[in-house]
C-alpha cells in the first residue's frame, strides 16, 4: 500500500489570467477551471503501518506513528524540504469572501509582504531594481500611477494563489457543535490554510466539563466522546478537500509533584507551564514538523499523561495556554529557527460569540487588554445574565490574555461565533476589526457584531502638562504622522498656557493633545463679557507603523470618556476627514479659510460662532 503526498502547484498561466478576470468582474459562469497536472511523490509505508492507515482515511502523523514515518520520509527519493499545502481545489467562494473585506492598498500591501513566498519577494525586488529606471523613462507620468495600482492588485491576487505557510494560528474549537457549524468551520480553516495561515486546533466541548471534574472515574466514557468529536471535525475537513490529523495523547505530559522550577534544564523550562493546583505540563512538539510538511491540520485533544502513563483530561483552555507557551519559545529551543511560527493569531470559535459589551449591542468590537481587562471583569459582576448567555466568556478572556502576554505585540486574538467563522478571513487580510470600535454608539449607522478582536495593547497615560512629556519623541511622532515639520518652539509657547490633557499610548505610538480655548461672548444681557471655555482637540497623531492596530480608536475612546463635548479642525483636503465625519455630530466649512470644523456634544450646535472664531484665531503649527 502506498499513500500519496501531493505537492502544491499553482495554476497555469492561462488559469491565473482567468482568475484575474474573475476578480476584475469578468467571470464567465460557464467556464470550468481545471488544475494543472499534479505530480505525486510516493512514500511506501512498511507493512506494519498498513493496518493503521486502513483504520481511518487520515494520513499518518508523527505523533501517532513515531519513528516509522521519519524513516520512510528520510528514505524517499525526493524528500520534502519545505512546508507544502495539500492541493485544495480553488474555491470561488474564497475569492468572494476575500473581496468582501475590501482591503485598502496599505492592508493589501501588508498582507502580500507577510504571506507571499520569500523567493517571490526577493525576485520581485531584484526585478523592480533593474526595471525601475527603464519604466520611468518609457511610461508617461499620467500612466505610471495607474500601472503601479494594477501591479499591486496582481501581486495581491498572486499571493492568494501561491502563499507559503509561514504563519500559524492556535485555534480552540469550543463545542457542542452541530454538523452545519462543523462544515462552516472546516471550510474556513481550509481557506485560512490556502491564504498561508496553518491552523493548530485544540478541540473542547462544554458538555465535557462535569466529566473532566470527576477525573479518572469517568475518563473512559469521556475519551470516547472526545474521539467521536475530533473524528467529526476531521471528517468535515476531509469532506471539504483538506487533511487533518487527530492527535490524542502524545502532546501533554504532567508532573503533579513538580520540582523547583529553577532546577529544570533550560529547554524544559521553555516547554513547561506551571498550573497552580494541577502541576507542570510539558509540551511535546514532535508532531509539528510533519504536520507543516504535509499540510495536515492537527486536531489536539486536551489529554495529559503523568509519569505512570495514566491519562487525564483537562480543560481545553489549559491545553491552549500550555501550547501557546511552548510555541512562543520555538526559536529559543532550537526546534524551529523560524520566528514566524510563533502563533500569529489566538482564535476561539464557539457558539457564544465574543465578549459581551455593556456599552453596545452585541459584543466588544476591540479589547485593549492592558486597559480594559479589569473593567470587563467588573462588568460581568454587574451583569449576572452574562453568566448564562456567555457562561465561558470570562475564562476565555483569561485564556486569551495569558496566551497573548507571552507572544509578540503584533499577535492578536479573535473570538468568533461558529455560525460566522468567515470573519477570520477578513481579519487575516486587514488585521483589524470589521469596523472601528470608536464609532458613535448613538448613531443608527453604527453596526454591531458578535466577534471580538483582542490585543495585549498599550498602556495609556494622561499628562497635565508638557513637563512630563518626552519632547523629542512627541515631535518625531507628530512629524511622522503628519508627514510634515512641526514648528515646535512656537507650538509649545502657545499651548503651555491652555493645555488641559495630553494622552499618550504606549511608547509614543499615538498622542492626543486637548487644550481649553476661549472666545468672548455676551450672556444674559449682561454688559460684562465672559470667557466661554471650550475643549479643543489640538493634535491627534498615530505612528504609521501602528495604524490599523486600534491606537486611534483607543485614543478616541479616552477622549470621549473625559470630554462629553469637544471641537476640532482639519484642513479641507485632509485625507483623515472621512474618519472625522463618522465621529462628529456636526461639521462646517469655515468661510474664508482652509479649515473644516468638527464637533460632538448636544449643545455645540448653539456655539458655532465661537467655534468658528477659535478655528480662525489658532495659528497653524505644521510647516507646509
What's the CA dihedral at 56, 57, 62, 64 to 10 degrees?
A: -10
Q: Is 527 a residue whose pLDDT tops 70? A: no
Residues of the chain with CATH 3.40.1160.10: 167-455
**Alpha carbon distance 43, 78 (integer Å):** 10
Give every CB contact of residue 488 below 8 A, 6+ residues apart in sequence.
471, 475
Q: Is 95 a residue whose pLDDT tops 80? A: no
3-state secondary structure (DSSP) of residue 224: helix
Q: Is 44 a residue whose pLDDT tops 50? A: no
The residue among 529 and 387 whose pLDDT is bigger is 387
Q: Is 26 a residue whose pLDDT tops 60? A: no
Per-residue pLDDT of 162-205, as tens digits, reads 555 568 899 999 989 999 999 999 999 998 888 888 899 999 99
Least confident of 39-48, 387-396, 435-444, 455-464: 39-48
Residues of the chain with CATH 3.40.630.30: 460-623
Report the pLDDT value the prediction gives residue 437, as an integer from 0 to 100.
86
Report the pLDDT value the prediction gives residue 250, as an integer from 0 to 100.
82
If you average pLDDT over residues 79-108, what whole number do you get?
52
Average pLDDT along the chain = 75
Report the pLDDT value the prediction gives residue 581, as an integer from 0 to 100.
92
Q: Residue 70 — pLDDT band, cuts 50, 70, 90?
A: very low
Report the pLDDT value the prediction gives residue 161, as an integer from 0 to 100.
52
**Alpha carbon distance 258, 264 (integer Å):** 10
Report the pLDDT value the prediction gives residue 373, as an integer from 0 to 100.
94
Q: Residue 72 — pLDDT band, cuts 50, 70, 90?
A: very low
**Alpha carbon distance 291, 162 (integer Å):** 19
Report the pLDDT value the prediction gives residue 426, as an integer from 0 to 100.
82
**Alpha carbon distance 137, 429 (integer Å):** 34
Q: Which of 252, 224, 236, 367 is nearest to 316 (CA)?
A: 252
Report the pLDDT value the prediction gives residue 385, as an integer from 0 to 100.
94
Report the pLDDT value the prediction gives residue 319, as an integer from 0 to 100.
94
CA 428 → CA 424, 456, 486, 514, 548, distances in Å?
Answer: 6, 17, 36, 35, 13
What's the CA dihedral at 190, 173, 183, 448 to 10 degrees?
A: -90
**Alpha carbon distance 415, 444 (integer Å):** 25
Least confident of 60-69, 216-225, 411-420, 559-568: 60-69
Q: What percent of the chain has pLDDT over 70?
A: 67
Q: Residue 504 — pLDDT band, cuts 50, 70, 90?
A: very high
Report the pLDDT value the prediction gives residue 330, as an integer from 0 to 100.
59
The residue among 511 and 35 whose pLDDT is bigger is 511
**Alpha carbon distance 486, 582 (integer Å):** 27
Report the pLDDT value the prediction gives residue 612, as an integer from 0 to 100.
87
Upstream peptide bond of 317 is cis (omega within 30 degrees of 0): no
Name the range with the highest mean pLDDT among 224-238, 241-255, 301-315.
224-238
**Alpha carbon distance 39, 616 (integer Å):** 70
The residue among 496 and 145 whose pLDDT is bigger is 496
Which run of H or of E encompasses 501?
Answer: strand 499-505
Least confident of 19-33, 97-111, 534-548, 561-575: 19-33
Burial grade of 120 (CB within 10 A; 0-12, 13-18, 19 or more): middle
Half-sphere exposure of 77 (CA within 13 A, CB side): 6
Burial grade of 291 (CB within 10 A; 0-12, 13-18, 19 or more): buried
Per-residue pLDDT of 255-295, as tens digits, reads 877 666 555 555 555 667 878 778 888 898 888 878 877 88
Fold of 460-623: Aminopeptidase (3.40.630)
What cell was used for 438? 470608536
Q: b/e for 142-171, b at 16 or more Cβ within 10 A?
A: eeeeeeeeeeeeebbbbbbebbbbbbbbbb
Report the pLDDT value the prediction gives residue 142, as an integer from 0 to 100.
46
Report the pLDDT value the prediction gives residue 85, as an integer from 0 to 100.
43
**Alpha carbon distance 610, 618 (integer Å):** 12
Contact of 118 with 196, CB cutoff 8 Å: no
The residue among 559 and 35 whose pLDDT is bigger is 559
Q: Residue 97 — pLDDT band, cuts 50, 70, 90?
A: low
Contact of 584 with 600, CB cutoff 8 Å: yes
The residue among 80 and 576 whose pLDDT is bigger is 576
**Alpha carbon distance 291, 61 (integer Å):** 7
Report the pLDDT value the prediction gives residue 593, as an integer from 0 to 100.
86
The residue among 50 and 160 whose pLDDT is bigger is 160
Report the pLDDT value the prediction gives residue 53, as an integer from 0 to 100.
33
Report the pLDDT value the prediction gives residue 259, as an integer from 0 to 100.
61
Q: What percent of the chain has pLDDT over 90?
A: 40
Q: Is 61 a residue whose pLDDT tops 50? A: no
Per-residue pLDDT of 121-145, as tens digits, reads 444 444 544 554 444 444 454 455 5
Kindly calculate the radius of gyration of the chain based on its CA atoms and give it in whole angstroms. 28
What's the CA dihedral at 9, 12, 13, 17 to 10 degrees?
A: -100
**Alpha carbon distance 417, 395 (integer Å):** 16
The residue among 85 and 27 whose pLDDT is bigger is 85
**Alpha carbon distance 127, 149 (integer Å):** 17
Provide the H-helix boundaries in 117-257.
118-138, 141-161, 179-194, 209-213, 219-239
Per-residue pLDDT of 347-374, as tens digits, reads 999 999 999 998 888 899 999 999 899 9
Angle (CA) 371-375-380 rounded to 5° is 145
The correct CATH number of 167-455 out of 3.40.50.2300, 3.30.460.20, 3.40.1160.10, 2.40.10.480 is 3.40.1160.10
Per-residue pLDDT of 535-547, as tens digits, reads 999 999 999 888 7
Report the pLDDT value the prediction gives residue 425, as an integer from 0 to 100.
84
Report the pLDDT value the prediction gives residue 558, as an integer from 0 to 100.
93
Q: b/e for 206-227, b at 16 or more Cβ within 10 A?
A: eebeebbeeeeebbeebbebbe
Report the pLDDT value the prediction gives residue 237, as an integer from 0 to 100.
94
Give every CB contact of residue 142 below 8 A, 6+ residues apart in sequence.
none
Q: Is 67 a residue whose pLDDT tops 50? A: no
Contact of 384 with 317, CB cutoff 8 Å: no
Amino acid at each position: 500500500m502506498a499513500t500519496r503526498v501531493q505537492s502544491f502547484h499553482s495554476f497555469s498561466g492561462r488559469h491565473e489570467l482567468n482568475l484575474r478576470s474573475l476578480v476584475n468582474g469578468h467571470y464567465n459562469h460557464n467556464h470550468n477551471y481545471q488544475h494543472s497536472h499534479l505530480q505525486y511523490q510516493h512514500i511506501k509505508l512498511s507493512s506494519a503501518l498498513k493496518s493503521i492507515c486502513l483504520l481511518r482515511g487520515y494520513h499518518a502523523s508523527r505523533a501517532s506513528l513515531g519513528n516509522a514515518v521519519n524513516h520512510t520520509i528520510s528514505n524517499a527519493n525526493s524528500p520534502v524540504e519545505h512546508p507544502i499545502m495539500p492541493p485544495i481545489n480553488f474555491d470561488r467562494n474564497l475569492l468572494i469572501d476575500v473581496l468582501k473585506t475590501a482591503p485598502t492598498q496599505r492592508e493589501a500591501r501588508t498582507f502580500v509582504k507577510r504571506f507571499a513566498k520569500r523567493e517571490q519577494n526577493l525576485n520581485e525586488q531584484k526585478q523592480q531594481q533593474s526595471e525601475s529606471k527603464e519604466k520611468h523613462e518609457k511610461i508617461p507620468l499620467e500612466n505610471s500611477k495607474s500601472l503601479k495600482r494594477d501591479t499591486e492588485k496582481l501581486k495581491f491576487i498572486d499571493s492568494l494563489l501561491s502563499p507559503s505557510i509561514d504563519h500559524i494560528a492556535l485555534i480552540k474549537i469550543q463545542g457542542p457543535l452541530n454538523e452545519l457549524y462543523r462544515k462552516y468551520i472546516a471550510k474556513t480553516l481550509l481557506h485560512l490554510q490556502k491564504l498561508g495561515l496553518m491552523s493548530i486546533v485544540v478541540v473542547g466541548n462544554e458538555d465535557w466539563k462535569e466529566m473532566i471534574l470527576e477525573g479518572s472515574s469517568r475518563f473512559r466514557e469521556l475519551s470516547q466522546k472526545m474521539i467521536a468529536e475530533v473524528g467529526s471535525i476531521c471528517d468535515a475537513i476531509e469532506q471539504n478537500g483538506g487533511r487533518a490529523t487527530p492527535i490524542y495523547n502524545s502532546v501533554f505530559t504532567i508532573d503533579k509533584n513538580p520540582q523547583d522550577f529553577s532546577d529544570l534544564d533550560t529547554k524544559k523550562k521553555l516547554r513547561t507551564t506551571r498550573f497552580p493546583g494541577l502541576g507542570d505540563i510539558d509540551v511535546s512538539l514532535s508532531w509539528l514538523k510533519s504536520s507543516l510538511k504535509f499540510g495536515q491540520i492537527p486536531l489536539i485533544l486536551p489529554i495529559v499523561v503523568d509519569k505512570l502513563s495514566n491519562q487525564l483530561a483537562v480543560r481545553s483552555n489549559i491545553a491552549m495556554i500550555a501550547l501557546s507557551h511552548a510555541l512562543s519559545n520555538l526559536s529559543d529551543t532550537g526546534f524551529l529557527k523560524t520566528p514566524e511560527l510563533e502563533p500569529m493569531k489566538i482564535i476561539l470559535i464557539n457558539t457564544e460569540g465574543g465578549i459581551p459589551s455593556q456599552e453596545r449591542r452585541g459584543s466588544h468590537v476591540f479589547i485593549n487588554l492592558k486597559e480594559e481587562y479589569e473593567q470587563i471583569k467588573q462588568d460581568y459582576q454587574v451583569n449576572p445574565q452574562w453568566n448564562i448567555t456567555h457562561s465561558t466568556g470570562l475564562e476565555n478572556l483569561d485564556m486569551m490574555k495569558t496566551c497573548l502576554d507571552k507572544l509578540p505585540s503584533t499577535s492578536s486574538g479573535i473570538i468568533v461565533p461558529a455560525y460566522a467563522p468567515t470573519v477570520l478571513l477578513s481579519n487575516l487580510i486587514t488585521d483589524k476589526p470589521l469596523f472601528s470600535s470608536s464609532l458613535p454608539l448613538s448613531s443608527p449607522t453604527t453596526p454591531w457584531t458578535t466577534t471580538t478582536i483582542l490585543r495585549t495593547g498599550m498602556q495609556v497615560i494622561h499628562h497635565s502638562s508638557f513637563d512630563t512629556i518626552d519632547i523629542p519623541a512627541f515631535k518625531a511622532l507628530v512629524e511622522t504622522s503628519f508627514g510634515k515639520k512641526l514648528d515646535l518652539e512656537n507650538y509649545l509657547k502657545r499651548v503651555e498656557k491652555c493645555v488641559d490633557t495630553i494622552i499618550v499610548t504606549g511608547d509614543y505610538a499615538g498622542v492626543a493633545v486637548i487644550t481649553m480655548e476661549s472666545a468672548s461672548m455676551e450672556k444674559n444681557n449682561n454688559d460684562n463679557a465672559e470667557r466661554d471655555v471650550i475643549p479643543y482637540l489640538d493634535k491627534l497623531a498615530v505612528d504609521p507603523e501602528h495604524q490599523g492596530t486600534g491606537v486611534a480608536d483607543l485614543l478616541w475612546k479616552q477622549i470621549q470618556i473625559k470630554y462629553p463635548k469637544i471641537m476640532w479642525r482639519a484642513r479641507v483636503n485632509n485625507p483623515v476627514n472621512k474618519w472625522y465625519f463618522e465621529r462628529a455630530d456636526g461639521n462646517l466649512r469655515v468661510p474664508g479659510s482652509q479649515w473644516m470644523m468638527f464637533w460632538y456634544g448636544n449643545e455645540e450646535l448653539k456655539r458655532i460662532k465661537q467655534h468658528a472664531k477659535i478655528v480662525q484665531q489658532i495659528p497653524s503649527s505644521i510647516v507646509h
